[in-house]
A and B are shown apart, each in its own frame.
Chain A
């Protein structure tokens, strides 16, 4: 069966990884106890790789809302937003999202992946150009492939390279969608958004900003990086997810452009999939209220993020370029990264192991993500468990 031969390298990778004990991908949380604690391999474990930025997954008001929706609206919609899958609550969530972002229009998708992929592929068609950051998320890359537009990458977070490429496009720059993210999920770095916005305006291009990891994290109201930098009026489309700071699952796009409403009839990932379950919509609506009304969650998140970033840096690890709720530790050798990942887990700490090509360089990453729900003691334990790795191995974590 030569059809399946292409999976042989994956099988080898899995076999190699299993030699270290258990598989570091798809770890089973035997029991989830709170936003920051789960039982893994029979042991109580601090969850430090979960994207649960505001720690809202067990928020009583969100759980109550979801339970009430289950009773009132059932377990699922069994249909597309385009057909039978738009309930009054989907509609209400869209209105609340538009109000939250202070935009005219909002569209709710079933996941963030589908939102980003659908918007990118639908906005840029055959004669258009997509100009994307080279370190873009898979949902952006996949959206690019689907739409049939010309795809050009600019160097990660490099406005000069973006400008060069817009200039090279000549008149076609007006048919160009520039795509960037509000917080890059692997290294926790932010884009130079003001420079990017200035340049795309100068060339008459449009910008789509994926605030998947930055919503709830930046801005006085938690609307993301565009709000924090006072650039919202100049960002045409914002996409995001409910699966991180909002603690549920789903995705959205907001814009002031009326064409967003027409995308309901054009985006295949909106049309050809069932709409989010009512319970998911209900908890998301509740969490959206909390993002706006409880800025102390953001303060706690940042306090934890800064504590972890400086703690790991002081322990001698090479971390990402700036403090953020995503703290990535670079480890040059894959073997060492995998060993360290297992030692951390044995010590009751779960982080994400990321190996190339999913990383932006040839290094592996031990990627930590912080939550407002982590306690100071938990952050201290994460830092000391990392520090123990170095004293046990006496091998440097190393450089990019």
Chain B
């Protein structure tokens, strides 16, 4: 179980590894358009977060994720209630 706030923290933490030194990820930043992530980096980011939360993110939902906020929201929906 993870709350939205916890999910947001994780996303921002992991994202930090992909950003330039000094750059931070705002909640409303778009992962590709604002933060400049490549599609390969997006893939790595997803895998790292999946491992941290011990979940699998369905590919069906990923295209809907554009911003840090949407990512955290999606994580909450998968990690929030679905776990036994």
Does A168 lie within 8 Å of B54, measured CB to CB?
yes
**Are B58 and A150 in contact, with the CB atoms below 8 A?**
yes
17 pairs, CB–CB < 8 Å, chain A vs chain B = A134-B43, A144-B59, A150-B58, A151-B59, A151-B60, A152-B59, A155-B47, A164-B51, A165-B56, A168-B55, A168-B56, A169-B56, A170-B84, A357-B39, A361-B40, A362-B38, A362-B40
**Within the complex, what minimum Cβ distance (angstroms) separates A152 from chain B?**
5
Please tell me if the beta carbons of A150 and B55 are within 8 angstroms of each other in the complex.
no
B55, chain A: closest CB distance, angstroms = 6
CA distance A134 to B59 in the complex (A): 11
Task: Please name the residue on chain A nearest to B54 by beta carbon.
Answer: A168
Classify chain B's interface size. Answer: 10 to 19
Q: Which of A355-387 contact B (CB under 8 A)?
A: 357, 361-362
Interface string of A252-268 (1 = CB under 8 A from B): 00000000000000000
Tell whether A137 is near chain B: CB-to-CB under 8 Å. Answer: no
- What chain A residues lie within 8 Å of B56 (beta carbons)? 152, 165, 168-169
Complex contact B59–A153 (CB within 8 A)? yes
Cα–Cα, bound, A144→B58 (Å): 11
Q: Smallest CB-CB separation from B55: which chain A residue? A: A168
Chain B residue numbers with a CB within 8 Å of A165 are: 56
Which residue of chain A is the closest to B47 with respect to CB atoms? A155
The A-contacting residues of B in range 24-57, CB under 8 angstroms, are 38-40, 43, 47, 51, 54-57
Min CB–CB distance B49 → chain A (angstroms):
13
Given contacts A155-B47, A168-B55, A168-B56, 17 further A-B contacts (CB under 8 A): A134-B43, A144-B59, A150-B58, A150-B60, A151-B58, A151-B59, A152-B57, A152-B58, A152-B59, A153-B59, A164-B51, A164-B54, A169-B56, A170-B84, A357-B39, A361-B40, A362-B38
